[in-house]
Amino acid sequence: MTQPSTSVEPGNSALSAATVDQVLELVSAAAGADGVAPLSEDALLQLRHGSTPPARDLVAYAGDHGAPERQLVGHAHMDAPDYAGQDGDITAELVVHPAHRRVGHGGALLANVLSLAGDHGVRIWAHGDLPGSAALASSFKLTRIRALFQLRMPLATAPAAKPAFPAGVTVRTFVPGEDEAAWLGVNQRAFAHHPEQGSWTIKDLRVREEEPWFDPAGFFLAERDGRIIGFHWTKVHRPDDGSGPIGEVYVVGVDPGQQGGGLGRALTATGLAHLRGLGLSEVMLYVDEDNTTAVSMYTGLGFGRWSTDVMYRYAP
């Protein structure tokens, strides 16, 4: 049996609206087949709003370039090199339509990603730690370097007691147009060693403020002496598959100089109470496997592991 050919277009500018729609349909099909979203929130936001060079989006087609009946079968996103925290590594994600797998399209996409990366190392997310992703990583001799847990919990089991904050701490909600700069400063300090969260810019924040799910009433800021020292930003997912909304502990952060005293736990409980008050039945969050302090706190609150995302690395 002849393997279908693959043509990959390594674009370095925003994809056309029609192509974005096709990629989003592909992403939806993959999520339905695999039970896990194949791309991160950040990659999807860049896909919809346009990746800023040198970040780029690649699109794979079944068939030779220029053939009239080509079919879009895969997509990959490559971020700009990360000189701040990862020695210039590029982070990439890729997805192949479930009806077109195991015939070489994924390998063709990954080979193009590695070629375009040149002398840069490449960190590649495999969402859900699926067998096909592991096999592709093995065939390219990639090294597994990181795991990200998704934890879930029924909100009915969340602590019902009123959160106990350290002395002198007050809590309010985020005010769009006023709190961005101060929040970004705390976020960057709290996640200074985190390869994604700590690198957020005002553009990253603004893009999320414009998303339909953004709700400042679920974005809690802890203050001491009028200064933000911690936060808990919640989110509500409304899946397209009819499974019903689910809450998320989107991000919890504490300024490094304010850690201790139970501030992070109290902020987490505040957000959980908010999500429960919305009538949601379940809550999720993401946490790095090696963040044992956070994993211990969340499991102590009643969270259990739901799925795992894995990061592989290619060294040139």
* Domain shared by 82 and 176, yes or no: no
Confidence of residue 133 (pLDDT cuts 50, 70, 90): very high
The pLDDT tens digits of the residues spanning 257-304 come to 887 789 999 999 999 999 999 999 999 999 999 999 889 989 988 999
Instruction: Give the pLDDT score at 240.
Output: 64
Q: In angstroms, rounded to a whole number, what is the distance separating the alpha carbons of residues 255 and 263?
A: 10
Instruction: Give the pLDDT score at 254.
Output: 95
CATH at residue 270: 3.40.630.30
* Domain shared by 134 and 156, yes or no: no
* Domain shared by 300 and 266, yes or no: yes
Of 100, 116, 141, which residue constitutes the final position of a domain?
141
Percent of the chain as helix, strand, coil, to the nearest 5: 35, 30, 35
* Domain shared by 164 and 302, yes or no: yes
Mean pLDDT computed over every residue of the chain: 92
* Domain shared by 155 and 291, yes or no: yes
Cα radius of gyration rounded to whole Å, the chain: 21
Domain that holds residue 211: 151-306
* Domain shared by 77 and 121, yes or no: yes
The pLDDT tens digits of the residues spanning 143-162 come to 999 999 999 999 999 888 88
pTM (two decimals):
0.88
* Domain shared by 158 and 192, yes or no: yes
Q: Burial, 239: exposed, middle or buried (Cβ in 10 Å; 0-12, 13-18, 19+)?
A: exposed
* Domain shared by 136 and 155, yes or no: no
Confidence of residue 1 (pLDDT cuts 50, 70, 90): very low
Residue 316 maps to a domain:
no
Of 141, 170, 200, which residue constitutes the final position of a domain?
141
* Domain shared by 30 and 105, yes or no: yes
Of 89, 118, 141, which residue constitutes the final position of a domain?
141
Residue 276 maps to a domain:
yes
